[in-house]
Structure formats: C-alpha cells, structure tokens
Structure 1
C-alpha cells in the first residue's frame, strides 16, 4: 500500500457549480491587499441573496473596497477536492441589528475591534475540482 499522495489534475467548474460549493461550506479565507502586502484572514461565511456574508477577524477600517474570498476542501492523500475564489466589492455591514444577527449565525474567533461582518458582492467566481490524475 503506497502512502505517497496521488497526483491530481484541476478541472474548471462553472460559476454556478462554484457558488454551489461555496454555499455548502462555512469556512474560508478573506484575502485582500493592505499597505502593498497580501493579507489572509480565516473567516466564516453564509451565502444569502446573491452575496457572501463573511465574519472575519479584521478591523472594519481595514476592509478594502475590493476583496477576494477563498474556500476549498482538499483531500491530499486521495488527490481530490475543490477550490473556489470569489472576488468583488466588499462592504462592512453597518446596521447593528443585522451585524448582531450574523454574529449569532456565524461563530467567530475574536470579539471587539477585530470582529467584522462584511458582504462581498461577487463579480468574479473561479472554481476547480481536483480529480485523480494519471502519472506519466
């Protein structure tokens, strides 16, 4: 029995399938540029009304005009899984009642100034399935 990971190949999926994969998940990473450096933060999310609502440990003032959100499920040993990136305009959820609702619905890691609820309005969606490949 071999313990080396299987090789995988990436197969692009449609935007609809990519969003379906995101909707079926709850954990991802917010990715944005701050002071010319790429910042990656863990996040919880929910897909609602064509938008991604994200809870992440980032100061609200640091949320950029545009952000990317990355979600994946990788099974390295089997060489299978999927990866999706959604990018578009981002905005902080400013209404305190709406933000409180999402704080109850999306568990977070931090509280206080580094606990932000935001919306990402998808403009670009890219997704890939990782399929078992053949060596050769």
Structure 2
C-alpha cells in the first residue's frame, strides 16, 4: 500500500470508448426538461444497432424530442470510475412485438402509463474516466 498522496483527475475518452462503457452497463438516468424544471428518471438500457433503448418510469407525453441519458460507474471509496453522457433525438417504441421484447429483457420500476420504452439516436457522446494520479 502506497502512502503517496494522490489527486483525482478527469481524462476525456473517445466517443467509441464512451459508447463501449455504456454498452457494458445497464443502468442510467434519463434527463429532460419539463415546463421549467429538469426531470431525472432512472432507466435500464441496452445498446442495439447503434441506438440506445431505455426503459424508464416517465410518462410518454412528458418526454421531449431530444433527451440526455447519463450513465456512470464511480467507486465511492476511491473516487475512480467513469461517466458518460449521450444526447440525441428520441422516439417512443410503440410496435407491440418490439415493446414486448424490451419489457421482457429490460427491468422496469413501474407498470402502466409511466412505463415507457424509448430509442435514443445518439448525436453527441461525451465521456470521462476518473483516475487517481500520484502527486510528486
């Protein structure tokens, strides 16, 4: 075990690496504006065919044309990990067979009018790794 003091630093990752990190995880947060407020809802997701499919407890009518989806895995003890944000237009999955497939494969929190399936078409992807750097 090292006794050298360390500081945290953020290292930007490429878009490809950021998407790889998202693909390897399954839980994130859908972020959008509703009226004058920012709304944050949990989401389970999967990456398929270059798009992000998200199951979230948000009413369909409240979801705007463009959303932000945030995914991270940060270890509290060390402060290390990563954080990725995906932004882009979204459409609601309405096809009954496709919706049934995602309801079977993605866990949900609620059932009924707030159980929404979305397909996000990424237009902007940013990501960072949080790493420890020895001072010296």
What range describes the TM-score normalised by the shorter chain of this pair? over 0.9
- Residue 94 of structure 2 is matched in structure 1 by 94
Structure 2: unaligned runs, 5 residues or longer: none
In 1, the alpha carbon distance for the partners of 2:70 and 2:98 equals 24
- TM (normalized to structure 2)? 0.92
- Residue 31 of structure 2 is matched in structure 1 by 31
- Residue 124 of structure 1 is matched in structure 2 by 124
In 1, the alpha carbon distance for the partners of 2:64 and 2:135 equals 42
- Residue 55 of structure 2 is matched in structure 1 by 55
Contact in 2 for aligned 1:53/1:119 (Cα 8 Å): yes
In 2, the alpha carbon distance for the partners of 1:109 and 1:79 equals 28
In 2, the alpha carbon distance for the partners of 1:7 and 1:104 equals 43
- TM (normalized to structure 1)? 0.92
Structure 1: unaligned runs, 5 residues or longer: none
Residue 96 of structure 1 and its aligned partner are, at CA, apart by: 1.3
Q: Could you say what the CA RMSD is over the residues aligned between the two structures, in angstroms?
A: 1.4
Runs of 4+ in 1 over 3 A off after TM superposition: 133-136
Residue 79 of structure 1 and its aligned partner are, at CA, apart by: 2.4
**Number of residues of Structure 1 aligned to a counterpart in Structure 2:** 132
- Residue 69 of structure 1 is matched in structure 2 by 69
Residue 99 of structure 1 and its aligned partner are, at CA, apart by: 0.7
- Residue 85 of structure 2 is matched in structure 1 by 85
In 2, the alpha carbon distance for the partners of 1:48 and 1:95 equals 16
